[in-house]
Structure 1
């Protein structure tokens, strides 16, 4: 009998996929990563090829998805405490990258044209509950 694989998640970088792979393997699910070597060789092609694909056997999809739902994807501070939204006090906060000022847009444009990584990126936090963007120090 041939076993079939199902992609259950996609990640931009291999390091992100390896963290989830370790968690799934700890729970007895065999995991395979697709396109990880290509992205490790040239990370800039990640979006073009759809990122690193995390695959499991088809019969393990339900159990793997339950485990994925249990993994927190929200931001924490250096002590491991959840970052809370200053507007609604929700802990469903994610780190986002923005290009809002002329300086950051110009740096992005120069980086894009010259083929280098952006050197002036701005990061903010975004609350999934009330959609507020804020800085955290």
Structure 2
């Protein structure tokens, strides 16, 4: 009698989230050209109703965790960093890096349903500090 070997399911790592499905297509193509499988979570849902993008956190660009490091290196070449109202990059007050992304904690029932009510914060990708503009 042969024992059946259980395989563990592959885990995904989310590289980033994009407001609209079209915004992610360039980086998706670049990752796939390097042999990295890409999954776009919530893409079909947002193609049918793009107005709920903020409510569900946009299209999530995901790769297998085994490809995470290679994918992050490629993604960092294309990543758009947060900018202020004048188009200048957001500078981290801790490490002075200009590599920040918009960050939402989505804590609380109201912010999970309506994330646009939460005050905008920024997370520095160099040191991890989360700041809120004045």
Q: Is the pair's TM-score, using the shorter chain for normalization, greater than 0.5? A: yes
**TM-score w.r.t. length of structure 1:** 0.55
2:87 is matched with: 126
Q: Does 1:5 align with 2:12?
A: yes
Instruction: Extract structure 1 runs of 4+ deviating beyond 3 A.
Output: none
Distance 1:48 1:129, change over 3 A: closer
C-alpha change, 1:31 and 1:72, in structure 2 (3 Å) is closer
Equivalent residues, number: 84
Distance 2:46 2:79 in 1: 25
Report the Cα offset of residue 73 of structure 1: 2.9
Structure 1 residues 125 and 27: CA distance shift in structure 2, 3 A: farther
Cα gap change, 1:44 to 1:55, in 2 (>3 Å): same
- 1:58-137 alignment runs, 5 A limit: 58-71=65-78, 73=80, 125-128=86-89
State the secondary structure of the residue aligned to 2:28: helix
Deviates more, 1:64-73 or 1:44-53: 64-73
TM-score by length of 2: 0.56
Unaligned runs of 5+ in 2: 1-6, 92-134
Deviation of 1:56 (Å): 0.4
CA root-mean-square deviation:
2.1
Residue in 1 aligned with 2:33? Answer: 26
Aligned CA distance change for structure 1 residues 129 and 17 (closer, same or farther; 3 Å): closer
